[in-house]
Structure 1
């Protein structure tokens, strides 16, 4: 796969940008980021597959493979990252630059030099960077490459390797560049009038996993039960539909929607109701308790536009909230602690106009 590096969408700076306006220069980066977002994830996956091939690590191929990986891919990304930083710094006075991009460049450059932040990968990455021939060792190569290694019982064994970290860092640079423009264009017929991050104390969500949209009597009973728990208020006292996947990927676990409310951490659970616990800090495990950290977004405008699904990954509220988080380089704890929620600021009968999206800061 000698053309492996050609699979990536590389940013090529203008040789002479003196005749181009700051707006046009920045838009060129935004356009590149959008194209790279559609191309580079698959290219990184191809690198992982290439690394995991066992027959190419003989003495004859080792030097060529090192040049391809360490110079043609990792080295070129390092050169690109530093070039982007220079161009972006020059554009800062224009006020056009999403300043969150500099944090993503810092992180990417750090990883590209081999100084990975992943403790479990430090040894393997250090070995490859100091003595490339160590990549012959299958375990070292798997930690460096990442990917799927087999099955353990009913669960697929996945290694989140160094190449996966590079993939995420590259995506982070792209998101901070092109997502602000995406968020602006997505708001057609509505506006996001409020956006902030919150971190609440431990709490408990109590509700029922049932669609009440056509069950007026059932919804009335649900609200009556929750109203009776006045003494267990959480401080976030709205009707909510909580959506989660038990800490698994959306392609593995179906979405579970609970109609209910956030209540105090020690709230008793009425008979027949389900509950989900939330805590401020992660326990390092997948699934519940989830984190009581989230982005909070309020929307105003046409309700049909706010809930439009066509052209969106989920619907307009979900996409705009998520994309704004990505634009700010804030971590979404997917899939381990991932959850979202529709918020009904005036009660279930009035329709939802706010959204919660799990984050970890």
Structure 2
């Protein structure tokens, strides 16, 4: 029996690979490029679209877009192109021979889910399909996952509490975290604070991501840190030009805790975590605060873990009454794993080798038999 295919498609990147592996076979930008009608690519036969890195390399001649929104699919034809590229170019396989695990945000609609079923069964003829919440999958990467709070920071922020190896559904908290807005804010900050004229967002999205994770830093908010002068840090652009970033690389991280500075009407991450845990049975609160796991590309900011711990502990007293705080709900532990951006994919890879996976996947025969009456259960 062939291994299952694990597909983690996000707004920025698509990760595709085989179950049982620790990392995907390929990660590529979830970008579709369509040629401008008035231009052609010299020396190359014009295609009607380009996918991933191929689109990025030709970006000056293409209109770029991502078919995946924060919680919904924006363009179904382009979304289908991502699957075609994943199967036939990235993995070079015949999809008819494989079962596929698809990660998705908790807020994805039933309509979108059924449309994905239709595409994968009717267009690509896959053997079977499983939907899994990207915010819950990281629990399968942990040795002790009995009681765990997963903070998944990607296009959205999802807080997913796990108790006795099961998701507490009514305690999931999701925030419409606009990561693209954050990236554009970073470009403005660099222009304002460091007097550096920056670049087109879509054409340089990979570089913006790299700047965030290699240069930007979050302060721990102590008096000593506030009084410390920020040191500039050099970054080398793809054209070999060097830029020096100072205040801008610290300012962008404040958005995690005070989204209002980015003109977004949402709560800070520390408030979302407390809100989620308070919806769980009270006897689990202490353990949930002691097992907070960061996942998703947004969690790789330098300094996020200590600052998050500081903000949660500072907020606990005002969020719990005296009787509850006497129950020692004041100890916070943040688990900061390596490669947090791969945790959902890797969790899916592990899950595919469990018996629970075999019981959950939808076969093509079942899809054809029940169609609109088919009940889709999420992991």
Q: Say which structure, 1 or 2, has more relative contact order (CA 8 Å, 6+ apart).
A: 2
- What is the TM-score when the length of structure 2 is the normalising length? 0.25
- Name the larger-Rg structure: 1
